[in-house]
Amino acid sequence: MDNTIQLPDLVLLDDFGGDYEKYIQHVYGIFREDFESGKKIFFRGLILKLKYNPMFQGKACTFYHMTHEGEDEQDRKPDIRRCERLAWAKPVIENCDRLGLKVWPQKRKGKNRICIWVELEGEPDYIVILEIREKYCLLWTTFILYNSHEKRKKLKEYTEWLKTQKSLDINLTTS
């Protein structure tokens, strides 16, 4: 199994002379190419879809969840670190099993979500969140784990889920 993580280069604001408008248009172009170009993307056999509403400045809601932070849709603030890594989302989703990434389900606000965790030396960790629906999944958001507290919290979530899997294995083999 080839588990080498080869992710696209970061897209840096400095490469656009600090011009945020040019930068965000370029980042949105990556989003459109990866997720709106008509090429089908799958996560474990489920087709990936996007959340469009509420649209914001003519862009899909999913784009803002992947590149901005905040609870209120109208007041989300740009997160340059998320923008830099937007091109990582597609290869992470498509290759998470081959790459041996940590992938686990979670319940959030009554919804079934999937976390995909990318751990890299010398880089903040990167998380992709999908929402599982009956016949497809939604690309929900991405975010970055900046500090050890956030990482410990996610590791605990993942470890607790793993324990449930091991107890299921034991129950299946002893039945």
pLDDT of residue 45 exceeding 50, the answer is yes
Query: How many residues in total does the chain contain?
Result: 175
| Cβ–Cβ < 8 Å for 49, 137 | yes
What's the whole-model pTM score? 0.88
pLDDT of residue 106 exceeding 60, the answer is yes
pLDDT digits (tens, 9 = 90+) for 17-39: 999 999 999 999 999 999 998 88
The residue-averaged pLDDT of 82-88 equals: 96
Percent of the chain whose predicted confidence (pLDDT) is above 90? 63
pLDDT of residue 71 exceeding 70, the answer is yes
| Domain boundaries defined on the chain | 13-148
Q: Quick check: bond before 54 cis, omega within 30?
A: yes
Of 59, 107, 69, 67, the C-alpha closest to 87 is: 67
78, two tokens: 């740009």
145, two tokens: 């784990």
How far apart are the C-alpha atoms of 149 and 169, rounded to whole Å?
Answer: 30
The mean of the pLDDT values for the chain is 88
Of 83, 76, 79, 88, the C-alpha closest to 26 is: 83
Q: pLDDT band for 168, please (50, 70, 90 cuts).
A: low
Q: Between these two residues, 17 and 163, which has the higher pLDDT value?
A: 17
Q: What is the pLDDT of residue 171?
A: 46
* CA distance readout (Å), 166 to 103, 104, 110, 155, 158: 15, 13, 24, 16, 13
Instruction: Count other Cβ atoms within 10 Å, centred on residue 12.
Output: 11
Q: Name the DSSP class of 59.
A: B
pLDDT of residue 6 exceeding 60, the answer is yes
Alpha helices per DSSP H over the chain:
20-31, 61-67, 80-84, 89-95, 148-174
